[in-house]
Chain A
């Protein structure tokens, strides 16, 4: 009987650990840190980005404004790609040249801030030392 309880508890503990990992989600994001950037080459401090807080403040409700998908060169309005890193599609062919990936991040983030005249646009406002 005790053995059964122990096994039961062990399963619960492991299960909750697993569960916790799997629900690690956008709420827990505090910075954008794309794994495609070569860690030895990272030049700037990471950008603080409190996912849900940011989107609430900015009044962005559609997930696919950022997590978009494309088909035949056109954005698919009712589909999204959340859970994927940007670099999964915007792959870096040459790891030593991060420019193409930096470009899409900057265009998306800075682009909207410029359009709405709100949010950071200068390098040091995002990459805070």
Chain B
């Protein structure tokens, strides 16, 4: 188990961070080049003020008409994304590993808060799954890869919850937990999860086109 643990918590961490960072840069650069070739007007339309204005409306809960129309979905989506980002970054168990390796540290959540936030992420994933399976208009747009993406996102949280509570099979679950986190990190640039890196650009572009060109709102 020592060898296994050392491998997943050592070299594999390096590999997954390198793939995540380089993969994200690669996707951004190829997208920028593609836009230049296929639709150079994108650059002409891009407007900083309208981009920020649109992004602002879309990161505020109920900041858009669409969100107000679907209150349940909006609440779950926001709670989900906040917890999804904050738990891995501000969990004490993760902060202390940075502290041990690099002697750097930052603010952290209490274990109790992190536990509740993890349940919110897992609950939201179940909500999204049920929604995909039961709502015909969503089902129509769903492919297998969406279920796989959902599983990639849920796995680190389910296994993390498991090991925090030290349920049966602790050691192997901790290995799975670390592995699933690494898989998720690597999956970000190469799956639909890439909306994390593209969001400011796609939203910013929509905002610019609507704001500067059509003189309309896009929220």
> Do the two chains belong together in a single complex?
yes
Instruction: Say yes or no: A43-B111 contact (C-beta < 8 A), given A99-B99, A103-B103, A107-B100.
Output: yes
Q: Does residue A121 face the partner (Cβ distance < 8 Å to B)?
A: yes
Q: How large is the interface on A (under 10, 10 to 19, 20 to 34, 35 or more residues)?
A: 20 to 34
Q: Which residues of B contact A44 (CB under 8 A)?
A: 111
Q: Which residues of A contact B105 (CB under 8 A)?
A: 97, 99-100
Q: Which residues of A contact B163 (CB under 8 A)?
A: 123-124
Instruction: Say yes or no: A121-B100 contact (C-beta < 8 A), given A43-B111, A97-B105, A99-B95.
Output: no
Question: Which label, helix, strand, loop or mixed, suits the secondary structure of the B interface?
Answer: helix
Q: Does residue A57 face the partner (Cβ distance < 8 Å to B)?
A: no
Nearest chain B CB to A117 CB, angstrom units: 5
Q: In this complex, what residue of A is CB-closest to B92?
A: A43
Residue pair A103, B100 in contact (C-beta under 8 Å): yes
Q: Does residue B166 face the partner (Cβ distance < 8 Å to A)?
A: yes
Residue pair B96, A128 in contact (C-beta under 8 Å): no
Nearest chain A CB to B93 CB, angstrom units: 6
Q: Does residue A102 face the partner (Cβ distance < 8 Å to B)?
A: yes
Q: Does residue A114 face the partner (Cβ distance < 8 Å to B)?
A: yes
Q: How far is the CA of A54 from the CA of B108 in the complex (A)?
A: 32
Residue pair B165, A129 in contact (C-beta under 8 Å): yes
Nearest chain B CB to A101 CB, angstrom units: 10
Binding site for A on B (CB under 8 A): 2-3, 5-6, 92-93, 95-96, 99-100, 103, 105, 108, 110-111, 163, 165-166, 170-171, 174
Q: List 22 A-B contacts (CB under 8 A).
A: A43-B92, A99-B99, A99-B105, A100-B105, A103-B96, A103-B99, A103-B100, A103-B103, A107-B100, A118-B2, A121-B2, A121-B5, A122-B5, A122-B170, A122-B171, A123-B93, A123-B163, A124-B166, A124-B171, A124-B174, A125-B171, A129-B165
